[in-house]
């Protein structure tokens, strides 16, 4: 197991890649503060079930990342356990309406950026200060290939591009505190978010991949776990695409 004894915050933990990341981390021996936006009994039951199965602890913590006071309260709740924070996985994200750039209201772009970028940046500021106390840590940002290649929804792809750029700058600034920062850029992955995009978009996305299939959340989570682990101790400022091969 590559994460034994590590303590991790994973955001967006209730669904999709975030949920898969919680399980991947637990299966590798990590304890998890599982951040989700909305209180959810099924999510809490899943956390307990995974914790029992893998003999770790997984604590649900609720926070809307667009609310700074809520983010502070959530971090304080985790810090109350008086444990070091070793890993932060920023997975929380949202996607706007299916429309073109010229028809996307600026307020809608702001809304997407509030969650996908600003909220995540604020949480990362707090979390990396916590990591800096021990002069070690790893941040894994879940970005998107849309942030590299551009995507059909400008607000989403631009917010992910911002995250990729932030990954590199954070890596540069936090290295001296022993904190590594990397990003994973998933391609078309089988989640609730992509289910809403429709069959035509899915077929088109699959056709662009060398492997001719969509990715699974677990395949993204496995790379996140590696980047968060000490096996990647000399890896920072990198963006690792998990996209089935798009050339």
Partner 1 sequence: MTNQEKYLRAFMEALEVTAAEAPTLVYGESRAWDSVGHMTLVAALEDAFDVMMEMDDIIDLSSFEKGKEILRKYDVEI
User: Where on the chain is the footprint of partner 1 (CB under 8 A)?
Assistant: 72, 75-76, 79, 125-126, 129-130, 132-133, 173, 176-177
Q: Which is nearer to partner 1, 129 or 195 (CB)?
A: 129
- 156 carries an active-site annotation: yes
Nearest to 64 by CA among 132, 2, 111: 111
Q: Would the CA dihedral through 204, 208, 214, 220 be positive or negative?
A: negative
Nearest to 187 by CA among 165, 162, 160: 160
Backbone angles phi, psi at 88, to 5 degrees: -125, 125
Q: Which is nearer to partner 1, 72 or 193 (CB)?
A: 72
CA–CA gap between residue 14 and residue 60 (Å, rounded): 9
How far the first Cα of the chain sits from its last, in Å, is 33
The first and second tokens of residue 86, run together, are 């070793």
Nearest approach, Cβ of residue 28 and partner 1 (Å): 27
CA–CA gap between residue 6 and residue 33 (Å, rounded): 11
Distances (CA, A) of 153 to 114, 145, 150: 16, 12, 8
Nearest approach, Cβ of residue 31 and partner 1 (Å): 20
Q: With contact defined as beta carbons under 8 Å apart, do 69 and 208 qualify?
A: no
Nearest approach, Cβ of residue 129 and partner 1 (Å): 5
Q: 54, 156, 188, 234: which one is catalytic?
A: 156
DSSP designation for 140: E
Q: Which is nearer to partner 1, 35 or 130 (CB)?
A: 130
Q: Which is nearer to partner 1, 129 or 231 (CB)?
A: 129
What is the bridge-based pairing of β-strands 87-90 and 137-142? Answer: parallel
Nearest approach, Cβ of residue 133 and partner 1 (Å): 4
Positions annotated as catalytic residues are 156
């Amino acid at each position: 197991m590559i994460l034994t004894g590590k303590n991790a915050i994973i955001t967006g933990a209730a669904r999709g890649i975030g949920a898969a990341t919680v399980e991947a981390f637990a299966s590798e021996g990590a304890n998890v503060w599982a951040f989700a936006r909305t209180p959810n009994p099924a999510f809490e039951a899943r956390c307990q079930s995974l914790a029992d199965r893998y003999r770790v602890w997984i604590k649900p913590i609720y926070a809307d990342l667009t609310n700074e006071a809520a983010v502070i309260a959530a971090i304080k709740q985790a810090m109350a356990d008086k444990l070091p924070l070793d890993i932060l996985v920023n997975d929380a994200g949202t996607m706007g309406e299916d429309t073109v750039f010229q028809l996307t209201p600026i307020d809608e772009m702001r809304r997407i950026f509030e969650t996908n970028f600003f909220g995540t940046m604020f949480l990362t500021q707090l979390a990396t200060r916590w990591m800096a106390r021990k002069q070690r840590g790893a941040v894994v940002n879940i970005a998107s290939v849309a942030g590299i290649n551009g995507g059909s929804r400008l607000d989403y792809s631009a917010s992910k591009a911002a995250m990729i750029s932030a990954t590199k700058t954070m890596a540069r600034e936090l290295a001296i505190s022993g904190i590594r920062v990397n990003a994973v850029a998933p391609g078309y992955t089988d989640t609730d978010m992509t289910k809403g995009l429709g069959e035509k978009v899915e077929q088109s996305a699959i056709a662009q991949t060398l492997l001719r299939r969509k990715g699974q959340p677990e395949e993204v989570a496995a790379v996140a776990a590696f980047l968060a682990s000490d096996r990647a101790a000399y890896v920072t400022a990198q963006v690792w695409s998990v996209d089935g091969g798009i050339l």
